[in-house]
Amino acid sequence: MNNQKYNPRKRQKRQNRQRQKRQFKRLISSLKSYLSIIIALIVTVSIAIFMQVNSIHKLSNVNDAPQQNSALEKVEKDNSSQPNKLPNILPPSPSQIPNPHPEFSRSQPQLPSLLTYNVKESHPFYFNSKLQLIVDKIVSLAKSRKLPIDKLSISLINLNSPTCCDYAGYQDQELRYPASIVKLFWLVMLYQQYYDRGLTPKEIPLEKQKIIAKAIEDSDNEAASQILDQITKTESSLKPLPSEQLYQWINQRYLVNEFYQRAGYPYLNISQKTFPISNDITEPIGPDQQIRQIQGKDLPPIRNFLSTYAVARLLGEIAQEQTISPEYSQEIKQLLKRDLNPSKWQRKPFNPIAGFLGESLPRKTEFWAKMGWTFNNRNDAAIISSPNREINYILVIFGDDAAYYQDKRFFPLLSKQVFETSSLRTDSL
């Protein structure tokens, strides 16, 4: 039995202590809640910053080459002067470019309707270890010639593989300056427009056919400029555009990027012209300069960029007559056809063979190609077949450094090396 006497003062003190404990617990609970909110905010901001940084890709910072007094003044002079510096900006999509003047937009001609690239079927690529050995030997050859392999990209497709198509590559997803290879991409979009209008290749107006031939067969910048103008409804000018018109102009130029991205192509930018395009416009000026500086004049300019993978895919679709229609695929191949007989190309002022993949191949080889070069890079993309189709492959090479432009033997040597590889022959599959 507890005989301890009841003491009201002690009870009051005990109650006060219990009350203080409860208050302290509530305070701790509140602090934990505030702390959780603060941590959540920090995490959210960090993720947003991380995603923004990772959305910024590298592309080749290339500037146009100085003019030359030669027959190639309007051909293959889309040159870059600082290939080793990679800008960290990409062209925004049209939806990311705000238009602060809705009334102005309504007063302008409507954008071209969004074209859909009518590719019948794009065959998947399957990694092949034998092809990879061929690619690895190309890299070894570049090393032996003291060429910077970090600036080299390769894609190789065997069109004769039983499960088309066997594939191998080296840095094939790297975005590099393509030079005049972009003209092939513009051509496909132009042909899609004609196809959608119900025209066959032979029904294209003769004057337009001449422009197309000059742009692709001769790689003429002025003719190619007219193609880009037509497919995007834009024009070059000497004077900058005010911001209201510039937004509309850029939106239209970026349609050529969206044409391929909607078809599942990897990220690319082919919205920039190659220069010079006329005697009056020898370098980017007016809106052609503004589109390169859309992120600000203090940042490196936005330039064209492609991966060898994207180029190889397009050539594969053309080779298999999946591009637009069989008739248009055949027409594109005809424009890309190159005669390897030295008597046909050695004396030409524009020469797409010497120093490139076709120079070292047997003269009867069937060769369809689009090359591009600047003083700071050398690129070639080709469909290559023996007359009996025992050998049938696609090879795309980007050498994005001045050393590749200077080494005019590397491309012929590697091309001969690949062509003579037994694992590419039908009987070895």
Instruction: List, as one string, the DSSP characters of 217-246.
Output: HS-BHHHHHHHHHHHHT----SSPPPHHHH
Does a structural domain hold residue 55?
Answer: no
**Structure confidence at residue 102 (pLDDT):** 36
Residue 37 belongs to some domain of the structure:
no
With respect to residue 17, please indicate whether it lies within any of the assigned structural domains.
Answer: no
101 assigned to some structural domain: yes
Short-list 307, 38, 284, CA closest to 153: 307
Residue 186, domain member (yes or no): yes
- Name the one residue in this structure whose structure tokens are 């990694």: 127
Give the pLDDT of residue 110.
39
> What range defines the domain where residue 310 resides?
94-428
Q: Are 134 and 418 in contact (CB under 8 A)?
A: yes
Q: Is residue 53 one of the residues assigned to a domain?
A: no
What lies within 8 Å, CB to CB, of 244 at 6+ separation is 99, 100, 101, 104
Residue 78 lies inside a defined structural domain of this protein = no
Question: Which ranges of 293-409 does DSSP label H, i.e. alpha helix?
Answer: 308-319, 326-336, 342-345, 402-406
pLDDT < 70 stretches in the chain: 1-16, 18-19, 23, 25-26, 29-30, 32-34, 36, 40-41, 43-113, 120-121, 427-429
* Predicted pLDDT at 14: 63
Ranges of beta strands (E only) in 45-180 are: 126-127, 152-158, 166-170
The pLDDT value recorded for residue 120 is 65
Q: Is residue 24 part of a domain?
A: no
Domain count, the chain: 1
How much is the pTM? 0.75
Tallying the residues shown for the chain, one arrives at 429
d(CA 40, CA 151): 42
Residue that has been written with the tokens 């092949």 in this structure: 128
131: left (phi over 0), alpha (psi -120 to 50) or beta: alpha
pLDDT of residue 239: 94
For residue 216, the domain's CATH number is: 3.40.710.10
